[in-house]
Amino acid sequence: MSDDTKIFLSESEMPQQWYNVQADLPSPVPPCLHPGTGQPLTPPDLMPLFPMGLIMQEVSQERWIDIPDPVLDLYKLWRPSPMVRARRLEKALGTPARIYYKNEGVSPAGSHKPNTAVAQAYYNKEEGISRLTTETGAGQWGSALSFACNVFDLKCTVYMVKVSYQQKPYRRSLIQTWGAEVFASPTDRTNAGRGILEKNPDSLGSLGIAISEAVEDAATHDDAHYSLGSVLNHVLLHQTIIGEEALKQMAIAGDFPDVVIGCTGGGSNFAGLALPFVREKFAGRDIRLIAAEPTACPSITRGKYAYDFGDTVQMAPLAKMHTLGHTFVPAGIHAGGLRYHGMAPLVSKLVDDGVVEAVSFSQNPVFDAAVLFAKTEGHIPAPETAHAIRAVVDEALKCKETGEAKCILFNWSGHGHFDMAAYDAYFAQKLIDCELPQADIDEALTHLPQVGG
């Protein structure tokens, strides 16, 4: 087994293909349905919003999909990302477990998001689109897409939830530095935004509203498409480069994970690491795959596996997924990237099939783990990432009890440099540990649409 702390791959060892788990599922993922008709979506339904290259990936059953050379070239700005053995964390925990993490915080935007952002920008550019629109809450996705559009010489319009625009000015600055235009949503640029402002001029916005604005902007302009940072099959596909690299790095380390862990909001960073290990599990390897979510938004652990709208305002397609109901509004936890009412259909299917399991944590135990990580391994994790770390710490402590020397691999999805206010709140003991009442979930689930199987 390697003595190194960090396992690097050379650029020539970087995977050249994304892995499409759809090729290996025992039964297919239920199709998405048209929000108006309730009928299965067809590729033409998606053409106003997405380029054909991405639509075909969305429904592809091919196991391997070549990564285009221009995307590979851009990946080389930060990939292959390091796989790191967290020896100092292991020592602090006194665990016999071996803990490894994939450091996706080394990307320009500081998270895994650019893995799909550059791919999406590429396919849109190829098909003659000149502008992408998107929404962003805390700003992780908006900054990643701004970066990606810049390198492919596309314009980029970001609708940023107004409260974040005001409270997180530095992610907004990041978006602007890479060249995107960014608006505090609700804006007066769209019917959706104007409608909200008419009713409530002081609206602080929401992700649901921002999505509606971004989709409307793209749908009403021929030169523009819309871009989503998680949930969809093609987004998860692009993230599989993380797990494919990890498989090669584990081979170099002379080790192999018994447990693979990631945090889940829409599901893309977890899936990016986990799906290649799902393939290994299907091939007979004994691996546990654990999704770590917040108790404030527990779509897997407490939601229902059912058809639901992807967005709050019922404009987006219906997907069969673990959902808390599209009207569910999660508490304002600091892990903004995990505040989505649903879960990627692919991840949901794997949960339903018993392949993936899930755990949930509230904020204070999550930040206990984040600070322990920062103090031992140095790097400051994002609040989202800290959910995965909490799960890792718990698994490692179980190993301490049982004496089992398990190998744990997790996705360090991003750094927390723009989230220090959350650390301040933690140290000031101002973080609330959300106890979500069952009645709230039950109420939200009554709004599920009556369609699908």
Is 382 a residue that touches a copy of itself (CB under 8 A)?
no
Is 378 a residue that touches a copy of itself (CB under 8 A)?
yes
Applying CB under 8 A, the span of 185-193, 240-248, 334-342, 410-418 interacting with a copy of itself comes to 410-418
Applying CB under 8 A, the span of 60-68, 260-268, 419-427, 431-439 interacting with a copy of itself comes to 419-427
Query: What's the per-residue H, E or C state across the chain?
Result: CCCCCEECCCHHHCCCEEECHHHHCCCCCCCCECCCCCCECCHHHHCCCCCHHHHHHHHCCCCEEECCHHHHHHHCCCCCCCEEECHHHHHHHCCCCEEEEEEHHHCCCCECCHHHHHHHHHHHHHCCCCEEEEEECCCHHHHHHHHHHHHCCCEEEEEEEHHHHHHCHHHHHHHHHCCCEEEEECCCCCHHHHHHHHHCCCCCCCHHHHHHHHHHHHHCCCCEEECCCCCCHHHHHHHCHHHHHHHHHHHHHCCCCCEEEEECCCCHHHHHHHHHHHHHHHCCCCCEEEEEEECCCCHHHHCEEEEEECCCCCCCCEEEEEECCCCCCCCCCCCHHHCCCCCCHHHHHHHHCCCCEEEEECHHHHHHHHHHHHHHHCCCECHHHHHHHHHHHHHHHHHHHHCCCCEEEEEECEECCCCHHHHHHHHCCCCCCCCCCHHHHHHHHCCCCCCCC
Is 198 a residue that touches a copy of itself (CB under 8 A)?
no
Task: Restricting to residues 353-372, name those near a copy of itself by CB under 8 A.
Answer: 371
Which of 181, 188, 223, 424 touches a copy of itself (CB under 8 A)? 424
Which of 55, 151, 290, 306 touches a copy of itself (CB under 8 A)? 151
Which of 165, 305, 423, 444 touches a copy of itself (CB under 8 A)? 423
Which of 15, 51, 110, 345 touches a copy of itself (CB under 8 A)? 110
Applying CB under 8 A, the span of 25-33, 105-113, 187-195, 200-208 interacting with a copy of itself comes to 105-113
- Residue closer to a copy of itself, measured from CB, 3 or 401: 3
Is 88 a residue that touches a copy of itself (CB under 8 A)?
yes
List the strands of the sheet with 155-161, edge to edge.
181-185, 155-161, 131-136, 224-226
Which of 91, 285, 375, 447 touches a copy of itself (CB under 8 A)? 375
Which of 108, 142, 276, 336 touches a copy of itself (CB under 8 A)? 108
If binding means CB under 8 A, how many residues of this protein chain bind a copy of itself?
41
Is 6 a residue that touches a copy of itself (CB under 8 A)?
yes
Is 179 a residue that touches a copy of itself (CB under 8 A)?
yes
Minimum CB separation of residue 253 from a copy of itself in Å reads 12
Is 241 a residue that touches a copy of itself (CB under 8 A)?
no
Applying CB under 8 A, the span of 10-18, 32-40, 130-138, 239-247 interacting with a copy of itself comes to 10-18
- Residue closer to a copy of itself, measured from CB, 152 or 361: 152
Which of 76, 91, 430, 447 touches a copy of itself (CB under 8 A)? 76
Residues that bind a copy of itself (CB under 8 A): 4-6, 8, 10-12, 76-78, 88, 106-108, 110, 147, 150-151, 169-170, 173-174, 176-179, 371, 374-375, 377-380, 415, 417-418, 420-421, 423-424, 427
